[in-house]
Amino acid sequence: MTLSSLPKLLVIDDVLGRRHSDRPNEERANICAHFLLRDVTDDEKTWPRQTVRQPIAEAVFHRGQSPICSRVGDLVENDIDSVLQTVSDRWRDESKTPWSLVLLDLSFYTGQVTSESDAKLKGMPEGSLADREPLDYFGLRILERLHFEFPDLPIVILSSRSRAEVALQFATHGALGFIGSDAEDGPKVLAEAIDRHALIPDPQDAIIGHSRPLMRALRAARQCALNNQNLLIRGESGTGKELIAEYVNRMRKGSADSRPFAVVNSGALTGDLYYSELFGHCKGAFTDAKSNRIGMIEQANGGDLFLDEVANMPPTVQNGLLRVLEEGIVMPLGGQAGDSMKVEVRFVTATHANLELMIAEGAFREDLYERLHRGGMIFVPPLRERHRDLPALTEYFVRMAEAEMGARRRVVTAEAVTKCQEYDWPRNVRQLQNCMYQAVSTFPDLEYLLAKHISLPQPSVRRSRVPEDPSVPAHPLTEIIRRLQDADFDTMSDEELRGRLPQLEETTARLVVRYLRAGLARHRQPDGRLFLQPALQFMTGNPTLAATAAYDIVKRLVKRAHLDAATLASDEVLKQACEKSEKGRVRGKATTGKSGTPGRRDRRGA
Amino acid sequence: MHGRQTSEQWSRNRSAISHDWLSAKHFIGRVSRLLRAVEGSVEGSESELSQIQKLRSEWFQGRHAIEDLINGLELAMSPNAALDRYPLRLLPNERREWIGKLIHRLWLRRCHVFELMVEARVQLKAADDEFSGILATTNNLSIGSESERDLSASRLSALLATMHRLHSAVARFPARIKTT
């Protein structure tokens, strides 16, 4: 693995993330040497760093507290905002490779740095009892927030604390694993955690790209590769399912070179021919069977067999394959009892079809389906969700076309890439490849590939503004909002559009009220009381929102949703919110006139 | 024998050793780093011999803290401390005395306290021996000399393994008094 393709770790740890003004962080150097990490934190440029010759990853260290550089007399406080900012900087910026994995400490020591605590560990406070209390660990708070804000960010706990004390909490809040930082096999465990949980590109670059949807698919493939069970790869046509199957075969540890990988091109096969291709046949089994033939299953014995378009498999072949999966025995077409052979093959199948629907319609065997994905399912993302990968893919296919056609080497301009990024690529990577080949063959002597040289089969569909990563939802609510924003009514028929306005209005209003209810419930006190102002400050993101404004918002939203009295009466949160907004508004007017100063009760709540 | 520490003091010391000093971030990490340097997988500005000398002085300070921790375990973490607190402290003295002894004996047996202490002492002694061996090898070497490269990776590897075993032994000590 080259340095540039090394996994990028974010390590959030109070001891490792702190900085000294007069010397490097010793503990960080120790951990980097212990785990073979290359420190790429940009806070110690003035200090000579140790060189780790064959690092397993690059690491950026973050204290999670302020100040980062603390001296005797300083008060060290936990700082969750700086953590969120650091994560967000790399997670949402498309120009940067996203974090592969976050390693999170549990216990963060807070308080004043004293001479005594500084002598023990430079710049560190002694820490309070609460800092050491498992249920109060700041690391768990960070975990909860990160999981909420960045649901698909892979996080693993790295701590010297006891796993048992927080096992339930770390799992509940979405951590994928726990590494004891002091365990003797720590480096091995970290390497395994990276392999299992991190979002990392293909080190061999056979699969190009570092978008999060692609790296999630690669991670699923690595996880499937660990077991020897059958797996099913799903994705639209042209997304590269066969490449993923090869990746699974490559990633299987210890046997990458020796494990056979056979591919059955089953798209054009039907009936006996399909059966014969898979299971082989004996001489005379059918008219053209002039001699015995070994099938692909037997050829793949001890390795992996890739079967594309498994949904096209005829029923007779499905029955035969089920027998192989159940008994591990292959019987060639026209064979007798003595012709059967015991095999050990992992079946990697792929399809773009809706197999579940086919099962419901009786077109595919359910028991076969169950056995085909016993080792897992991998979903390969369509190209339209791999916005980040377009520059590298475009460049790659242009170079390939130039080499094959002997065309002049050209610069792929930003406008050409942008044009590709604005298109939806319904036939995915295969279509992109064809498009680039066409551009090179039509204009073999160019120095610059411009947008006008790229011919797309239909007008480009301008996608959303893409302020954030356009890949599959980092956040469910973000995805809902994005889908609503992107809803394109212009292309719909009259039939679809007619009479939908009342329904649309009501649906959006009710959606907003459901959001309001969730936000209010989050700020409900244990005794059931609601404080509207802090809840609305939270929901609007406006920390200075006045109480009267909060009452107005609640009233406006509830009114717009046309909630009837019965619905309101049955929902304790909304009922209380309505009552409070009515009373509070009246009191607010009576006591504050037009200034909008919060009423006494809500001020206390805030 | 040292005076009885409170369970809070002892727990704090245990945490300071197990989670802070004798950890991959600190002492074990330094041994590991030195081993990596000797193996050639990590290159720093400090010579190996200089690192050994620093480790030695730090070890002699740290080992005493570990020794105190081992010696203090039985008295500091016995659940009979609950008899000194409300409501059990209201019991008559003679009853508290025999109940306290009983609780203590049951705890020693149930939690294998002496076995834990013996194991930690064995590992502490092993760590001392490993250190002595390494120091004997390096005593006649000077900083920067060619022969300091001869420092055996296997010796350091053995020291690191011993440190991990010592750490595990300390980590098995109870972190708090369990009264339920």
Look at the block and give the residue holding tokens 């992109």.
A432
Identify all chain B residues contacting A31, using CB atoms and an 8 Å cutoff. Answer: 24-25, 29
- Pick from A31, A53, A182: which is nearest to B167 by CB? A182
Question: Is the backbone of residue A449 left (phi > 0), alpha (psi -120 to 50) or beta?
Answer: beta
| Maximum alpha-carbon separation in chain A | 100
Whole-Å CA distances, B130 to A133, A492, B17, B56:
35, 79, 20, 11
Amino acid (one-letter) located at A109: Y
pLDDT tens figures, A261-298: 899 877 777 777 888 889 988 888 777 778 888 899 99
CB distance B145 to B151 below 8 Å? no
A181 at the B interface (CB within 8 A)? yes
Asked if the model's pLDDT at residue B57 lies above 90, the reply is: no
Contacting residues of A for B19, CB less than 8 Å apart:
107, 160-161
Share the mean pLDDT of chain A.
Answer: 85
Which chain B residue has the Cα nearest residue A29? Answer: B33
Q: Taking CB atoms and an 8 Å cutoff, what residues of chain A touch B26?
A: 27, 30, 121
Q: Answer whether A348's CB lies under 8 Å from A304's CB.
A: yes
Backbone dihedral angles phi then psi of residue A126, each to the nearest 5 degrees: -70, -35
- How far apart CA A234 and CA A407 sit, in angstroms, is 36
Q: How many CA atoms lie within 13 A of B38 on its CB side?
A: 22
Q: What is the pLDDT of residue A265?
A: 79
Measured between beta carbons, the chain A residues lying within 8 angstroms of B28 are 34, 182
The overall average pLDDT reported for chain B is: 86
Does the distance separating the beta carbons of B32 and A33 come in below 8 Å?
yes
A284 with A334: CB under 8 angstroms? yes
| C-alpha to C-alpha distance for B146 and A101, rounded to whole angstroms | 41
Separation of alpha carbons A297 and A303, rounded Å:
9
Q: Do A182 and B161 touch (CB under 8 A)?
A: no
Nearest to A213 by CA among A395, A384, A397: A384
- Helix extents (H) in A280-413: 296-299, 315-327, 355-360, 366-372, 390-405
Q: Given a cut of 70, is residue B90 above it in pLDDT?
A: yes
d(C-alpha A181, C-alpha A395), whole Å: 42
Each residue's pLDDT tens digit, A440-495:
999 999 999 999 999 987 654 444 332 333 334 445 677 677 677 767 777 677 77
Do A229 and A203 meet the contact criterion of CB atoms below 8 Å apart?
no
As a dihedral over the C-alpha atoms of residue A199, residue A204, residue A209, residue A213, rounded to 10 degrees, the angle is -40
Tell me how many residue pairs between chain A and chain B have CB atoms under 8 A apart.
Answer: 79
Check A50 against B15: CB less than 8 A apart.
no
* Residues A33, B29: C-beta atoms closer than 8 Å: yes
CB contact (8 A) between residue B43 and residue A36: no
User: Looking at the partner chain, which of B18, B26, B41 has a beta carbon nearest the beta carbon of A52?
Assistant: B41
Nearest neighbour of A34 by CB, restricted to B18, B33, B43: B33
Nearest CB to A181: which of B15, B23, B43?
B23
What is each CA distance from A402 to A238, A286, B124, in whole angstroms? 22, 47, 67
Q: Is the pLDDT of residue A257 over 70?
A: no
Tell me what ipTM this predicted complex has. 0.85
Contact A352, A361 (CB under 8 A): no
Shortest Cα distance, chain B CAs vs residue A446, angstroms: 48
Closest chain A residue to the Cα of B43, Cα to Cα: A51
- Listed in sequence order, the DSSP H helices in A72-211 are 80-91, 115-120, 138-149, 163-172, 186-197
How far apart, in whole angstroms, are the C-alpha atoms of residue A317 and residue A315?
Answer: 5
Do strands A75-78 and A111-112 pair parallel, antiparallel, or not at all (unpaired)? antiparallel
A11, A34, A109: best to mutate for the B interface, most B CBs within 10 A: A34
Beta carbons of A30 and B33 less than 8 Å apart: yes
Q: What are phi and psi of A78, to 5 degrees?
A: -70, 145
What is the per-residue pLDDT for A469? 34
pLDDT of residue A361 exceeding 80, the answer is yes
A 96-135 residues inside an 8 A Cβ radius of B: 107, 120-121, 132
- Cβ-proximal residues to A122 (8 Å cutoff; 6+ apart), any chain: A20, A23
B24 in contact with chain A, both atoms CB, cutoff 8 A: yes
pLDDT-derived band at A593, boundaries 50, 70, 90? very low
Average pLDDT (A32-45) is 86
From the list B26, B45, B175, which residue is nearest A30 (CB)? B26
Helix or strand holding residue A419 (H, E):
helix A414-421
- What pLDDT score was predicted for residue B151? 61
Mean pLDDT score, B46-69: 87
Going by C-alpha positions, the residue among A588, A592, A481, A571 that lies closest to residue A533 is A588
Number of helices followed by number of strands (H, E) in chain A: 25, 21
Residues of B in contact with A162 (CB under 8 A): 171, 175
Q: Which of B28, B43, B175 sits opposite A182 (nearest CB)?
A: B28
Q: How far is A7 from chain B (nearest CA, A)?
A: 19
A127-151 core/surface letters (b: 16 or more CB in 10 A; e: else): beeebbeeeebbbbbbbebbbeebe
SS (H, E, C) A441-453: HHCCCCCEECHHH
Q: Look at the block and give the residue holding tokens 């048992």.
A: A164
Angstrom distance (rounded) from CA A60 to CA A526:
40
List, for residues A559-573, the tens digit of each pLDDT value.
877 777 777 777 888
pLDDT at A556 > cutoff 90: no
Chosen for mutation from A133, A184, A188, A189 (greatest number of chain B CBs closer than 10 Å) is: A184
Q: Give the pLDDT of residue A244.
A: 96
A82 touches A18 (CB < 8 A) = no
Question: Is residue A17 a contact partner of residue A61, using CB atoms and an 8 Å limit?
Answer: yes
Residues ≥6 apart with Cβ < 8 Å to A305: A262, A263, A264, A296, A297, A345, A346, A347, A348
Q: Which residues 6+ apart lie within 8 Å of A211 measured at CB?
A: A381, A385, A386, A387, A388, A389, A471
Q: Which residues of chain A lie closer than 8 angstroms to B42, CB-CB?
A: 33, 36, 50-53
Tens-digit pLDDT profile for residues A45-91? 667 778 999 899 999 999 999 999 999 999 999 999 999 999 999 88
Residues of chain A positioned with their CB less than 8 A from the CB of B171: 162, 182
Q: Residue B130: which of B56, B27, B62, B23 has the closest Cα? A: B56
H, E, C per residue of chain B: CCCCCCHHHHHHHHHHHHHHHCCCCCHHHHHHHHHHHHHCCEECCCCHHHHHHHHHHHHHHHHHHHHHHHHHHHHHCCHHHHHHCCCHHHCCHHHHHHHHHHHHHHHHHHCCHHHHHHHHHHHHHHHHHHHHHHHHHHCCCCCCCHHHHHCCHHHHHHHHHHHHHHHHHHHCCCCCCCCC
Nearest-by-Cβ selection for B25 from A30, A52, A54: A30
Q: Do A36 and B36 touch (CB under 8 A)?
A: yes
Among A23, A63, A118, A160, the strongest candidate for a mutation testing the B interface, having the largest count of B CBs within 10 A, is A160
Inter-chain CB proximity A27 and B26 less than 8 Å:
yes
Contact indicator for A388, A466 with CB cutoff of 8 Å: no
A-chain residue closest to B172, CA distance: A162
Find the CB nearest A160 among B23, B36, B37. Answer: B23
Nearest to B24 among A26, A48, A181 (CB): A181
Q: Nearest CA to A376 among A344, A347, A345, A343?
A: A347
Residue B36 to residue A107, Cβ atoms within 8 A:
no
A399-438 pLDDT, tens digit per residue, is 999 999 999 999 999 999 999 998 999 999 999 999 999 9
Nearest to A307 by CA among A342, A355, A341, A340: A355
CB nearest to B15's CB, from A34, A51, A132: A132
Bridge partner list, A38: A58
Angle made by CA atoms A191, A195, A198, in degrees to the nearest 5: 105
CA atoms within 13 A on the CB side of B118: 5
Do the chains contact at A30 and B32, CB–CB below 8 Å?
yes
The sign of the dihedral angle between the CA atoms of A75, A76, A80, A83 is: positive
